[in-house]
Amino acid sequence: MHCELQKIACELGIREIKYTGEVSSYPKDDSSYAITRDPSKCILCRRCETMCSKVQTVNMLSAINRGFKTIISSPFNLPIAETNCTFCGQCVSICPTGALTEVDYTSKVWDAINSDDKIVIAQIAPAVRATIGEEFGFEAGTIVTGKLVSALRILGFDKVFDTNFAADLTIVEEATEFMHRLQNNGRLPMLTSCCPGWINFFEHDFNDLMDVPSTCKSPQQMFGTMAKTYFAEKMNINPENIVVVSIMPCLAKKYEAARPEMQTNGIKDVDIVLTTRELAKMIKESGIDFASLKDENFDSPFGESTGAGTIFGASGGVMEAVLRTVYEWITKKSIPDLEFNAVRGIHGIKESSIKINDMDINIAIANGLGNARKLLEMIRNNEANYHIIEIMACPGGCIGGGGQPYIQGNTEILKKRAEALYRDDATKSIRKSHDNPYVLKLYEEFLGEPYSKKSHNFLHTYYTKK
């Protein structure tokens, strides 16, 4: 083991190390809201290091406490919360021993469900419906939305809503923001802001470009805000008695929900975030026969969504959803083809353009932070000629999130998951976010106009240099 440590130190440019004993002598690190590391389970396989440094290019080697200290100051001795970790969770997804895991909030959810004075609401992210079935023996790419809703009700959730509704809301706001920039000589390119992993990456490594990302909150946070304002008002519920639980494919969503700016009127937008794996564990420990469950529908008013909201879970899906709306709003015509095949697929970087009236809108999509770095460097160096860019931190987008069922980099499974979301989109009667009647009603009854002052107060955020 000592030889291995010497090798690592050499690669890091550390000239002298002092070996202090077994890895197990180091304490468990639960300093962050998203990732826990247990050095006693680490076998120094370096998979996490390769993922973090070579694939994601975060170079956050302090994610792994390897059982040695340097005589000089070393990032290995820092808690995860004090590093530049993006909490994307890709290190967790490939750790073979469980030395790296998500912070487990299932006990908090059980406590909330068993509380007599709390209304516990679940929201389900787009990608989860295409992946959680794998935990129960379903073939990869099987949509199990109805069974998932049924399982959550059996677990004891008072309301089960669809984050896809909030994805539609996000598109209406984000498309309006993009048009505002486009037509008023605003900052371009505009970058989508749905992924908290890439936002954290941006705040650390590219904070000289603060005016580039959209200011829209993610669908998770928009949903939480509306649940504790609009929904609470309609149902005459004290928002302090509402517990919003998000079922997400992502570990960074745990971090995002804990950000101090993600609250409304002093109340957190989202209280607890569970990964796909954590929810599967809850279902299993409750003895629920998931495969035999009957399909049930989401509750209203946040249960109605469009196909555009569904494809958020795949790389390129946010871009495609935005283009469906922007095209019709600018041209005042129906879009001739809803499928933008050029932005689909799990390739690291995708480029295309779409003609809207007399203008070619240049677009780019990146999935994986290493690919995001390439695009962001181009923007920084004024080498990019894009109008709008989608970035997702994880391979394939949310379908490959750090909280999804483990697949060890199996790209065929990623493709099946994405294909499932596109099939689900194709079956929807409404496939454009701006046509969602419940989103339109939300603006009419509560928010006013998209991108208005009130919408900004509830649905937009700001970023912080780190």
Residues designated catalytic: 174, 177, 194, 214, 253, 256, 261, 398
**Tokens 């077994």 found at:** 22
> What's phi and psi for 191, nearest 5 deg?
-105, 135
Q: Tell me the C-alpha distance between 429 and 133, whole Å.
A: 24
At 427, which amino acid appears? T
- Spatial CA neighbour of 325 closest among 172, 430, 164, 191: 172
- Going by DSSP bridges, is the β-strand pair 388-392/190-191 parallel, antiparallel, or unpaired? parallel
Residue type, 190: M
DSSP string, 68-122: EEESS--GGGS-GGGS------HHHHH-SSSSEEEPP-HHHHHHHHT-TT-EEEE
What does the angle CA 399 – CA 403 – CA 408 come to, to the nearest 5 degrees? Answer: 70
CA–CA separation, 86 and 202 (whole Å): 9
Contact 408, 134 (CB under 8 A): no
Name which of 230, 269, 231, 232 is nearest 253 in CA terms: 269
Collect all residues with Cβ–Cβ distance below 8 Å to 11 and sequence separation of at least 6: none
Q: How many CB atoms lie within 10 A of CB 437?
A: 11
Quickly list H helices, 42-162.
Answer: 47-50, 90-94, 106-113, 145-155
Q: Are 166 and 219 a contacting pair, CB within 8 Å?
A: yes
| H helix intervals, 305-436 | 307-310, 317-331, 369-380, 411-427
Three-state DSSP at 53 gives helix
**Residue 339, number of CB atoms within 10 A of its CB:** 13
How many Cα atoms occupy the beta-carbon half-sphere of 205 within 13 Å? 23
Alpha-carbon span 36 to 365, nearest angstrom: 30
Structure tokens, 73: 């100051």
